[in-house]
Structure 1
């Protein structure tokens, strides 16, 4: 891992990532698969340790993200196209979106933060 190469001894490393298995509701609703299931705190910690860094703190977080209606959800999905199938369009998924169009639409958001240090 290049991070280990550029950190001086005593240097600190912080990363915050969106968990690769966040918003499972999108997979259920739109029939998609997570594109980055390997992006987990466990995998990142393993990679950092192999690179010679000492993990000092791992924070794994899960919470709810709420959309006021299907229009707000579609706006969000336009910003994160990796969370839905490649063929996702409003027209193609109109029936599912209409079924979801009740306030609020809640999904599970996950992320993690890792602090590490180079000895």
Structure 2
């Protein structure tokens, strides 16, 4: 929520009325409004606020849900890594390798 007022006190009162006295101010600045080419402009205070967490329990629940989501992702990655590490190092569907100097064996069992 962003509020502009002539004084910081007025802006704070409006934020408190809308979001409650525990609202958190996230930005405060002075701005110029009105006037012609910068002349006769009024200087205002602009405050941006966000509502407070309902209570510590809801903040903890939100953080716990995020931590659980990340932990599930890590566990899934860990299982995938373990499966990949357990697979043999042999190439899949690649050409067969023979010891140097050996000859292919024909179906009858003799070398070609």
Give the TM-score category using the shorter length.
under 0.3
Structure 1 or 2: larger strand share?
1
Alignment TM-score, normalising by the size of structure 2: 0.26
Q: When the two structures are superposed, what TM-score results if normalisation uses the length of structure 1?
A: 0.25
